[in-house]
């Protein structure tokens, strides 16, 4: 796969989802909702270290392989906190996300999968708005971090910093 332009059809046949397809209606990284201003791209997030190397168990063919250059996957079915940027586990199990109703059928792995697909150019207006609202709600954690920590002090609240990083905010600079 590699034809990521508006009008392309993406067919998903991965361990996490199969028999699903979507069309890219925008070019990658373009025409985001005016309220959605992520500080990191999916590629940058993956290269920094998120989800303990366990969000994907292998490079998904639906996503650009270039996003995964240098990305280390965890061994087995568990997250390895040492693969995270802040060397701490800040993730909740997928079952918690499912129980809370945060997972929708289009994106069975949650927000980051939605963001990857949104970044590529898929648009689902109602779902996009729901996910963008969830992304905006992380700002309360950013406010807590900024109130409690000196700017750039990565040793202050590393779990919260790692969690914020999962939402495409660059918590290294806060």
Composition of the chain by helix, strand, coil, percent to 5: 35, 5, 55
pLDDT digits (tens, 9 = 90+) for 9-60: 999 999 999 999 999 999 999 999 999 999 999 999 999 999 999 898 889 9
Distance in angstroms (rounded) separating the CA atoms of residues 93 and 77: 12
Sequence spans of domains, the chain:
9-165
pLDDT digits (tens, 9 = 90+) for 71-124: 999 987 778 999 999 999 998 877 888 898 888 989 999 999 999 999 999 999
- Token code pair at residue 3: 């034809």
Distance in angstroms (rounded) separating the CA atoms of residues 35 and 55: 26
Higher-pLDDT residue of 1, 67 = 67
pLDDT at 2: 60
pLDDT at 87: 96
pLDDT at 1: 44
pTM of the model: 0.94
């Amino acid at each position: 796969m590699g034809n990521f332009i508006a009008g392309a059809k993406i067919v998903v046949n991965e361990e996490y989802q199969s028999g699903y397809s979507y069309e890219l209606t925008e070019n990658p990284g373009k025409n985001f909702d005016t309220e959605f201003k992520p500080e990191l791209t999916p590629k940058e997030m993956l290269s920094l270290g998120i989800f303990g190397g366990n969000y994907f168990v292998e490079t998904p063919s639906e996503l650009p392989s270039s996003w995964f250059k240098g990305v280390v996957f965890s061994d087995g079915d568990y997250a390895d906190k040492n693969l995270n940027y802040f060397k701490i586990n800040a993730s909740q199990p997928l079952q918690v996300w499912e129980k809370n109703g945060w997972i929708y059928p289009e994106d069975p792995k949650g927000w980051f999968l939605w963001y990857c697909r949104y970044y590529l150019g898929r648009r689902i207006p109602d779902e996009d708005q729901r996910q963008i609202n969830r992304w905006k709600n992380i700002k309360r954690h950013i406010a807590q971090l900024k109130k409690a920590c000196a700017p750039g002090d990565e040793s202050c609240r590393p779990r919260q910093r790692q969690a914020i990083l999962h939402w495409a905010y660059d918590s290294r600079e806060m």
